[in-house]
A and B are shown apart, each in its own frame.
Chain A
Amino acid sequence: MITAGIDVGIESLKAVILKDGKVLARGTGLSGGANRAKAVEQVWSDALAAAGLSPSDVSRVIATGQGKHDVRFADDRVVEPVADARAARFLYPGVTAVVDIGADQVRLVTLGKGDSIMEVVMNQKCAAGLGIFLKSMARTLGMTLEEISRLPDNSPGDAAVNDGCSVFAEMDALGLLNRNTPREEVARAIIEAIVVRINSILNEKIRPAEAATVLVGGVSRNTAVVNALKRRSGINFVIPEQAEYAGALGAALIAAG
């Protein structure tokens, strides 16, 4: 049986086509803002082409993500934590929690017995947009995300930015640059502020286990952020390959039953 999952996020969308538990193809693209439905069609079509399939070959499509209703051809829709949980269990059977850090949301899903979910914690508004914030700050600093990702994780120096609000953080960062603080130091201060916010969410209800916690989502690809988060939280995250496709994978698995 061939199934598919499509995860439509605020910035990017991902598609996974699955057959008998094996990934046949993946597709990705920008969410396209107001033209999301069109972007969905494009990515879907690219994924099918990569798999050498036509739409009728796919038995069931499930959509997830904030833009799940823009997947007009989906047979059903599931919320993101449900998709994340399914993907995490599939990839790592002993997992107890999964943390998803995307462009605009941070989610912690604590798994219960069997297929159940014990708890879901999502960021409040002040911690929204951490992924988008990181991207925007990279532009301000004149660095690429890859350059930021390669920064070594030292404990934070004297340079600090507001860790409560990204608007204030950006103003603090500009102030630091204005006073000739090296941009790498400013970048580290920004990373520290981001991981303080994320760690706050991890502390909210049930603290994830130090081992057996999976990290997924686009920001999981940024090594500097991940290392800082490991240091700050004490959690040794397990990061799957293609971590940003976890939501789509989970949806495809749910479609398979």
Chain B
Amino acid sequence: MSEAAHKDYAGAKLGMWLFLYTEILLFGGLFVLYAVYLFRFPAEFARASNELSLTFGTVNTLILLTSSLAAAAAVTAVQKGARQLTFWLLVGTVITAAIFLVNKYFEWSAKFHHGIYLNGPGLAEAAPGEVIFFSLYFITTGLHGLHVLIGAILLTVIAGGVRKGAIHTGDYVKLENSALYWHLVDLVWIFVFPLYYLIL
């Protein structure tokens, strides 16, 4: 009986991709709701979208795209055996993730300050469609933010593994899979950004 000393990298990656499909469907459910309510309340969605900060949204988009670049480059770096570079690219990814979350904190705080939150007083007089917009906004970006946090923690652990030499050019599937998770986080935002910040 052959001992499974040789790891199944393709299998591990397949497993990760399958998990990513579940994430697509998880956020997908929120997009089902969004699609229906956008159709029902086009004017109110536009009005509410206008109240979101285009600056924050765009900056956060650029931040996540850059973090994805770093994560992707980290995979190349580990493949080439560049341990230091891999480590710093991962650190860079985590730092950009942290900046994203800090931005989110300021963005949400500003809204909370005006009483705009789930069932908040700032929405008491708002039109029905606007309430729906903000509810979906907070739930979607909240769920997304949770995934950013999870991804950041994951990548930090992986960076530690690279530093210790546990993850290296002969066995880096954990890094690959974490990077895949991170890209998913970026992908969700790629759709969240125009749908919530750019509606006219």
Tell whether A pairs with B: no
